């Protein structure tokens, strides 16, 4: 089996390397020449744990190669996966399908044989149908099947998620498409991964429904955290008590500064727009989107309150700027709202993130970027934990206190034990937990 993967971003590169791990011959193609050059030189354009070793292994074995030439990549491919970006269209929140359709047009122009085109990108209901029309009109001489195979991997644990998924979803319309996708994922039969074959529209919707539901879980527990703060309850224990109920599950019940990242914000919005298009008002998703937006501003107030009502002239050390740990992805990170809001109120920001600073520096001006956590804490009036990187959990609190001007931690990820932080001499504010006595 030989496949082409169009797009070598977070999803395309991980999926390509993992399909190679499944034994397929994979050619990754990207328009971005600098990415392809880096990959050819043995460098990985993104930070994702384990990805460098996996790419190296399969490049060396001759199963994984990269090119900027789409025609070369798709030549002889049994399946062509489209893994390009589908960001929010500026202004209206619809998924911007420009890259998907550009890739499809290019495939139609250059393809020489019958094949299967698979959307791995997250695309709204009806996109597969539109792709079918493009191929039928432009290449009536060829049999081009279209399938939908949405990706559920999470940045930070992407390889494990791809190699050991909870399920694989395949929207197919023909036996040939079904067989080819079954072949691509054959090694997963060994670990009895459910492979769900559905209609195109159903597969496309499963992806949005999943992300919207997860965003709802996060937003639900965030609102509950606010109530916990008022009534003296501990949201961590509330979440645990709820999550142990098998009908609910423990994952995605961590209170924090609101969801961000490259998927939930854009996918919830796009689902709302799809609902509108089909006269279906998705009120729960709409509320989730609004509550999450308000959440980031609420976190600014939380920090300001902890600083005695104003951050003007104060130095705030921000630990973590990416939307979650183990990634360098800054897309829709809560830090992009929180940091500028603190600056607008007169705070001086020092910040440190283990992997995100290169990207963050382009997006967050006037920040003093630091070499490590302790460097960021020097002279700070408050330390704010925005991302739960493991290295922050192990912070030497005595050393931290000795470096700071004021011993104050605002922990928006609940990584510390309130009693321990209080014992180390800090004033401590976290999310949805009582203040230690």
* Chain residues that interact with ligand NAD, rule: CB under 6 A: 6-12, 29-32, 35, 83-86, 99, 102-103, 106, 121-122, 151, 153, 155, 262-263
53 CB-side CA count, 13 A:
3
347 CB-side CA count, 13 A:
30
Coil, strand or helix at 333: coil
Nearer to ligand NAD, 48 or 411 (CB): 48
Nearer to ligand NAD, 289 or 316 (CB): 289
Write 344-347 long-range contacts (CB < 8 A, 24+). Answer: 345/300, 345/304, 345/310, 345/311, 345/312, 346/310, 346/311, 346/312, 346/313, 346/314, 347/311, 347/312, 347/313, 347/314, 347/315, 347/316
- For 169, the enclosing helix (H) or strand (E) is strand 168-171
Q: Out of 18, 263, 307, 370, pick the active-site residue.
A: 263
Q: Is 76 left (phi over 0), alpha (psi -120 to 50) or beta?
A: left
Provide the minimum distance between the beta carbon of 417 and ligand NAD in the complex, in angstroms, as a whole number: 31
Contacts of 363 (CB under 8 A, 6+ apart): 330, 336
Provide the minimum distance between the beta carbon of 332 and ligand NAD in the complex, in angstroms, as a whole number: 11
Provide the minimum distance between the beta carbon of 122 and ligand NAD in the complex, in angstroms, as a whole number: 4
Residue 122: alpha-carbon gap to chain centroid: 12
Nearer to ligand NAD, 6 or 18 (CB): 6
Cα–Cα distance, 406 to 32 (Å, whole number): 46
C-beta neighbour count of 429 within 10 angstroms:
22
Nearer to ligand NAD, 82 or 253 (CB): 82
Contacts of 276 (CB under 8 A, 6+ apart): none
Cα–Cα distance, 178 to 184 (Å, whole number): 10
Provide the minimum distance between the beta carbon of 8 and ligand NAD in the complex, in angstroms, as a whole number: 5
Cα–Cα distance, 253 to 223 (Å, whole number): 11
Provide the minimum distance between the beta carbon of 99 and ligand NAD in the complex, in angstroms, as a whole number: 4
* In the complex, residue closest to ligand NAD by CB: 9
Provide the minimum distance between the beta carbon of 14 and ligand NAD in the complex, in angstroms, as a whole number: 8
Provide the minimum distance between the beta carbon of 34 and ligand NAD in the complex, in angstroms, as a whole number: 10
Cα–Cα distance, 402 to 380 (Å, whole number): 11
Nearer to ligand NAD, 86 or 373 (CB): 86
Provide the minimum distance between the beta carbon of 125 and ligand NAD in the complex, in angstroms, as a whole number: 14
Nearer to ligand NAD, 8 or 236 (CB): 8
The answer to whether 317 and 351 are in contact (CB under 8 A) is yes
Nearer to ligand NAD, 81 or 428 (CB): 81
Cα–Cα distance, 51 to 394 (Å, whole number): 25
Number of helical H runs and strand E runs in the chain:
18, 14
Nearer to ligand NAD, 211 or 292 (CB): 211
Catalytic site residue 228?
A: no
Q: How far apart are the first and last CA of the chain?
A: 63
**Residue numbers annotated as active site:** 263
């Amino acid at each position: 089996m030989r496949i082409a993967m169009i797009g070598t971003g977070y999803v395309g590169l991980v999926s390509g390397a993992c399909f190679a791990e499944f034994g397929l011959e994979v050619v990754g193609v990207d328009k971005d020449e600098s990415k392809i050059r880096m990959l050819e030189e043995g460098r990985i354009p993104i930070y994702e744990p384990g990805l460098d070793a996996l790419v190296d292994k399969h490049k060396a074995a001759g199963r994984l190669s990269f090119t900027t030439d789409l025609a070369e990549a798709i030549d002889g491919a049994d399946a062509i996966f489209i893994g390009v970006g589908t960001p929010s269209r500026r202004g209206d929140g619809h998924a911007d399908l420009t890259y998907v359709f550009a890739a499809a047009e290019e495939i139609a122009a250059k393809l020489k044989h019958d094949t299967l085109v698979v959307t791995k990108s997250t695309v709204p209901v009806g996109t597969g149908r539109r792709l079918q029309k493009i191929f039928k009109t432009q290449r009536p001489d060829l049999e081009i099947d279209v399938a939908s195979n949405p990706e559920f991997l999470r940045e930070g644990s992407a390889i494990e998620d791809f190699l050991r998924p909870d399920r694989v979803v395949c929207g197919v319309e023909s036996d040939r498409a079904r067989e080819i996708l079954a072949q691509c994922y054959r090694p997963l039969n060994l670990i009895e991964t459910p492979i769900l074959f559905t209609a195109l529209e159903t597969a496309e919707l499963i992806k949005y429904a999943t992300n919207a539901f997860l965003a709802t879980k996060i937003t639900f527990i965030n609102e509950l955290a606010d109530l916990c703060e008022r009534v003296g309850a501990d949201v961590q224990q509330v979440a645990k008590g709820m999550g142990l109920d098998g009908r609910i599950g423990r994952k995605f019940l961590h209170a924090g500064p609101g969801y961000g990242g490259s998927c939930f914000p854009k996918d919830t919005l796009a689902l709302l727009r799809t609902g509108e298009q089909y006269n279906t008002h998705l009120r729960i998703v709409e509320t989730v989107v609004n509550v999450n937006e308000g959440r980031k501003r609420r976190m600014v107030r939380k920090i300001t309150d902890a600083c005695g009502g104003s951050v003007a002239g104060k130095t705030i050390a921000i630990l973590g700027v990416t939307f979650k740990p183990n990634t360098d992805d800054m897309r829709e990170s809560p830090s992009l709202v929180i940091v500028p809001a603190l600056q607008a109120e007169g705070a001086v920001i020092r910040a440190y993130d283990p992997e995100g600073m290169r990207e963050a520096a382009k997006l967050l001006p006037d920040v003093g970027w630091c070499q490590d956590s302790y460097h960021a804490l020097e002279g700070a009036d408050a330390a704010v934990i925005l991302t739960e990187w493991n290295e922050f959990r192990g912070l030497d609190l005595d050393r931290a206190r000795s470096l700071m001007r004021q011993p104050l931690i605002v922990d928006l990820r609940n990584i510390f034990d309130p009693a321990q932080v209080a014992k180390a001499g800090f004033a401590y504010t976290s999310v949805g937990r009582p203040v230690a006595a």
